[in-house]
Amino acid sequence: MTLHLKKLCVGVDSPEQLEAWMPRRLDRIERELGRRVLCHVTRQVPKRAPEILDGGSLYWIMNGRMRARQPVHDLREIRDSQGRRACVIELAPALIRVTAAPHRPFQGWRYLDPADAPADVGASDSDPAADMPDWMVRALRDLGVL
């Protein structure tokens, strides 16, 4: 059964800002590792890795709302420069926007059951927000229109 992760995207206010940041990150990782791969390093290693690798994604929470996801390609345990365990989460380079869902802050990452994951924006033909910019969707949702 597929399982997802969710994590705060600290210092990023919107999916557009994260997308703008990703090419620089890819370039830096390619210089350091010799591979063009997008990854995120976190301290805790998921114990349920096989479920995450079975089609799971990392859902990003920005400004108190779950806003985007990236499919997880791999999870690898490493040791940091102080010898502590860490986890490299290898991600697909494509950022997929999801229907904004409110979320409280937390530290680290958490598991996200697929039943609780927000739908991809535009996944349904009846999604009125599919062609709207994020700022407009956020304003309309805050007003209770969407």
Q: Which domain holds residue 51?
A: 4-120
Residue 143 falls within a domain, yes or no? no
Q: What is the CATH number of the domain that holds 55?
A: 2.30.130
Residue 132 falls within a domain, yes or no? no
Predicted confidence at residue 129, as pLDDT, reads 64
Residue 141 falls within a domain, yes or no? no
Residue 43 falls within a domain, yes or no? yes
Residue 25 falls within a domain, yes or no? yes
Dump the DSSP string for the chain: ---EEEEE-TT--SHHHHHHHHHHHHHHHHHHHSS--EEEEESSPPTTHHHHTTT-EEEEEETTEEEEEEEEEEEEEEE-TTS-EEEEEEE-S--EEEEEEE----SSEEEE-GGGSPPBTTSSTT-TTTTS-HHHHHHHHHTT--
Residue 32 falls within a domain, yes or no? yes
Residue 86 falls within a domain, yes or no? yes
Q: What is the pLDDT along the chain (146 residues), one digit of tens a residue?
A: 899 999 999 888 888 899 988 888 878 777 777 777 788 888 889 999 999 999 999 999 998 889 999 999 999 898 878 888 889 899 998 899 998 888 998 898 999 999 999 999 876 555 666 667 777 877 887 887 76
Residue 105 falls within a domain, yes or no? yes
Counting the structural domains of the chain, the total is: 1
